[in-house]
Structure 1
Amino acid sequence: MAIIHKTTMTPGKMELLADWLPAQPWYVPTGRPPGPSRAGGFRLDDPQGEVGIEFMVLTEESEGGPVAYHVPLTYRGAPLKGAEAALIGTSEHGVLGRRWVYDGTRDPVLVGQLLSLLQGRAAAQAQGLSDTRDPSVTTEFDGRTLPVPLLPPVRPRTAHTARDTEIALGDGPRLAVSRVLRPLDPAGAAPGAIGRVTAGWNTPDGTAHRGIFAALYTG
């Protein structure tokens, strides 16, 4: 069970992400300094109790209206070997001390727990509360298509598109993590996917949306 500490981080998460976001291939330029705000998300527990796992939604105004970004994060008490390119930054936590903050799509612990969530072996947790499930996060998985459990790679191999980060899972399956979220279209929600994670967020005007946060494909 992840314990949510009511304390400070210096620099804060939003400061780290405001520097990191504009360098990502899926970021929508605004022509002004980045100013993301938190808009939703959830957490997963690390079975070993060592790595913090958070799926954060940020919104930012652009010329075409607000853009919602999905940023999976991991928080570690020591550097992740071989993941220098995935490091977002370091921060001093008021209780836990120095934390190394990573792009979670390249952290095997987050990828493993996301696969467990998809397969019904893990439960989404509330973003800001300890030991509290988040029933608004829903999953679908066609367990007949792939062996269960599907295990993550030791070092996730990722490729970025304009809206997604794709994680290779061996020779065939791939996990597509949405980076620019779109409101759910029931008629065309991740066509061809054998598994999906759906969750919600709010736009700055308070409008609630739901969309696909991650989808699993056979190839």
Structure 2
Amino acid sequence: MALLHRAELRPSKLDLLATWLPGRDWFHGPAGGDVTRVAAYRFDDPAGAVGIETMLVRVGDGPVHQVPLTYRDAPLDGGGDRLIGTTHHSVLGRRWVYDACGDPVYSAALASAVLAGAGQAEEFFEVDGVRERRAPSMGIAITGPAVAAPPAVGALRGVVDADPTVIVTDAVELVVPRRLVASDRPGAATLTGTWDGQPDPLPLAYATLR
């Protein structure tokens, strides 16, 4: 479950991405265009400490890009090169926003989703002590080989920044497409997504045991 707050972020997540995205080799879109949110999905951090959200965004009339993010209340050790920026949350205070592909909490959550069907986190707003469920903006599902229980992914060994981005851990290799198009990786468990305007599932991630 993801407990959300009706809060103000300064700068906003989209403002942070507008600065960060143009510097990525895998980004395709007009320079200086507005970043718009297409859809998003979240995973749970079992420890409840790290926010995990994957945003689908578009700049101008460019393609849809997938940007996994983690939100932390303190800097990630060794994660300086993955820092997208910091923002002030009107309820939670200062938050460090990271490219989640370099965050071990994201790797573990993604592996659980792709290999064991953990699914996306239900989202709730808490208003005057009452929790209100927010309907998801997209659907996710898994296809291909799966395991009975989430694997212990182990340490994060490396990240290949490209499209797709490849995340290597002790036990699992994860592949995260940045631009979402129809494709297939035989033998890999696959996380797919659908959203308004995209009724046909597109791959969001692949996972294979090492």
Please tell me the TM-score bracket, short chain as reference. 0.7 to 0.9
After superposition, the Cα gap between the structure-2 partners of 1:18 and 1:127, relative to the gap in structure 1 and judged at 3 Å, is farther
1:190 is the counterpart of 2:191: no
Report deviation, 1:125. Answer: 2.5
Report deviation, 1:142. Answer: 1.3
Normalised TM-score (structure 1): 0.82
Normalised TM-score (structure 2): 0.85
1:5-24 matches, within 5 Å, as: 5-24=5-24
SS in 1 for 2:60: strand
Report deviation, 1:37. Answer: 0.4
Which residue does 2:142 correspond to in 1? 139
Q: Which consecutive aligned stretches of 4+ in structure 1 deviate over 4 angstroms post-superposition? A: 126-135
1:120 is the counterpart of 2:116: yes
Cα distance in 2 for partners of 1:9, 1:33 equals 21
Report deviation, 1:28. Answer: 1.2
- For structure 1, list consecutive stretches of 5 or more residues without a partner in the other structure: none
Which residue does 2:175 correspond to in 1? 176
Report deviation, 1:6. Answer: 1.0
What letter matches 1:36 in structure 2? V
Q: Given that residues 3 and 123 in structure 2 are in contact (C-alpha distance below 8 angstroms), is that contact kept between their aligned partners in structure 1? A: no
Cα distance in 1 for partners of 2:134, 2:119 equals 10
1:155 is the counterpart of 2:156: yes
Report deviation, 1:156. Answer: 4.9
Q: Given that residues 40 and 56 in structure 1 are in contact (C-alpha distance below 8 angstroms), is that contact kept between their aligned partners in structure 2? A: yes
What letter matches 1:111 in structure 2? S
What is the aligned counterpart of 2:69 among 66, 73, 83?
A: 73
Which range moved further: 133-142 or 152-161?
133-142
Give CA-to-partner distance per residue, 1:187-209, whole Å, 9 cap, x none.
xx42224211111245xxxx335
Identity of matched residues, %: 31
1:56 is the counterpart of 2:55: yes
SS in 2 for 1:117: helix
Question: How big is the alpha-carbon RMSD for the aligned residues of Structure 1 and Structure 2?
Answer: 2.5
**How many residues align structurally?**
202
Cα distance in 1 for partners of 2:14, 2:124 equals 15
What is the aligned counterpart of 2:79 among 78, 83, 102?
A: 83
Cα distance in 2 for partners of 1:195, 1:181 equals 17
1:4 is the counterpart of 2:4: yes
Cα distance in 2 for partners of 1:140, 1:151 equals 20
Higher strand share: 2
Cα distance in 2 for partners of 1:126, 1:72 equals 17
After superposition, the Cα gap between the structure-2 partners of 1:169 and 1:196, relative to the gap in structure 1 and judged at 3 Å, is same
Report deviation, 1:34. Answer: 3.1
SS in 2 for 1:67: coil
Give CA-to-partner distance per residue, 1:134-165, whole Å, 9 cap, x none.
58210124137xx954333433511022x210
1:105 is the counterpart of 2:101: yes
Cα distance in 2 for partners of 1:193, 1:27 equals 28
Cα distance in 2 for partners of 1:213, 1:128 equals 24
Cα distance in 2 for partners of 1:126, 1:2 equals 6
Cα distance in 2 for partners of 1:133, 1:190 equals 29
